[in-house]
Amino acid sequence: MSFNLLEEASRILEINSITYESNLPVVEYLCKLLEPFDVDIEKQSATHFEKPQANLIVRKGPQTGKTLLFNSHLDTVSAGDFSLWDRTGGNPFRATVDQDKIFGLGAADVKLDALCKLKALEKFINIPFKNPFVWVGTYGEESGLVGARQILESKIVKPTYAVVGEPSNLNIIHAHKGHLVVEICLEDKKARPISKQEKISRLDFLGKAAHSSTPHLGENAIEELFNFLKTMPDLSLVSIEGGHLINVIAESAVLKGLATQKITPNPKKFTASEEENSEKGMVFSPHMTKMLITLYEIVRRYAHVFKKTPLDTFDPPYSLLSCNVLKTQSNQITLQLSIRTLPNLDTNAWFLGFSQEIEKVKQNQEDINVLVKNLRESKPMETSISSTLVREARHILQQMGLQDIVATKATSTEASIYAQMGAEAIVWGPGISVGNVHRPNEFNYIHHLNKAVIFYEKLIESFCVKGA
């Protein structure tokens, strides 16, 4: 029996598959949906954030030939503050339809794209394929393309053509930026345990979430925290925390310090309060505060330097640097930086220069140990406009009466992984990205979902049924 796209959209959006939770419930849901299909199903198990995960791999057709691969990640970013999801009644997991829009966490990025791909495959039940078809539903895309990296390392698929689902406004994305994640860990050798008599001031900095590829659409609460810290270089810190995921601009940050002087709150920037002393924390030395301010200035300078070497085919047209995660543990403070890299940036040379500059600063602070790590990197992706996949995708869009726009994307996607495998790769999907994903009230257009089903059907027919 054919499944109803909108009914199943409501069901899949109800399933919590936030990237640091297990994605097995959504995998099991999809396996049940696939029961009437004449396909082979495989689950590639893993553990991520200490939770069980799986890549779901669906195959149809012969074992050899030019393989068409469809990819959709099954995880989402965190929902953030539920109260901001006013279009879904304060519940990001409750799909809400309003005219041509469906709201809910993952509506655009990209759980409904997964349904569109399977709905397209449903048309070909009991129809033989001349070339292999593979659909992959991955885990951990929002936390470093982890599932796709496992696909790459295991060599479990060998795609000739890869169509990666991300909201693209139905445009063909033939190139996108890379993503480099750098961690700076500072250890204060002069930090001391806090005493019961000492009072703690707590400052809550408020921002606005946005995708880290478009930080200008948000307000980074971590930046506000550092801007305040610059005004109080002698502040004795107890902890600083902010952000949850490296690819999301931090919507909140918290600074705790000794209440040695009265801090007047700034309603537009932060609130101030006193907090009970748990006696479990550490008090950092003034050297740590000064080192943090210096590092922040280095980061801001590099972000400005990136603007001097733009590529006009991208929007924003330059590499982007932002601090999106801040953590405190014992006598250590960790900063995680997101760098959205253009193809013209030599990331190895950049990381070397960045590390050397921090090393020089560290020499002036003997009480502070500093370690800089390259946590992970996704390379930029670029597929020729004259490639077989791009030309066929444009032809199909023309047949559908849609604009055959070929563009670039500011984010990094799993397409870079499949490009590393030698595949012609594009990013395409229903919905819009900028100003929509990684924010409350995420939505997709219902007419986009219907167009996506037709687009995917025609790709399958061309590459797998006809064997183009």
pLDDT band for position 1 (cuts 50, 70, 90): low
Which carries the bigger pLDDT value, residue 263 or residue 297? Answer: 297
413 has a pLDDT exceeding 80: yes
Domains and CATH numbers, the chain: 5-177+380-465 (3.40.630.10), 179-378 (3.30.70.360)
Task: Give pLDDT, residue 293.
Answer: 95
pLDDT tens-digit readout, 290-340: 999 999 999 999 999 999 999 999 999 999 999 999 999 999 999 999 999
Q: What distances in angstroms separate CA 274 from CA 126, 200, 203, 242, one per listed residue?
A: 67, 6, 9, 19
The whole-chain average pLDDT of the chain stands at 94
Average pLDDT over residues 142-168: 96
d(CA 58, CA 306): 41
pLDDT band for position 279 (cuts 50, 70, 90): low
Task: Give pLDDT, residue 267.
Answer: 76
pLDDT tens-digit readout, 86-127: 999 999 999 999 999 999 999 999 999 999 999 999 999 999
pLDDT tens-digit readout, 37-76: 999 999 999 999 999 999 999 999 999 999 999 999 999 9
The predicted model scores a pTM of: 0.83
d(CA 220, CA 337): 12
Q: What distances in angstroms separate CA 66 from CA 61, 131, 163, 457, one per listed residue?
A: 11, 6, 14, 17
Tell me if 41 sits within 8 A of 98, measured CB to CB. Answer: no
Task: Give pLDDT, residue 362.
Answer: 84
pLDDT tens-digit readout, 176-221: 999 999 999 999 999 999 988 888 999 999 999 888 999 999 999 9
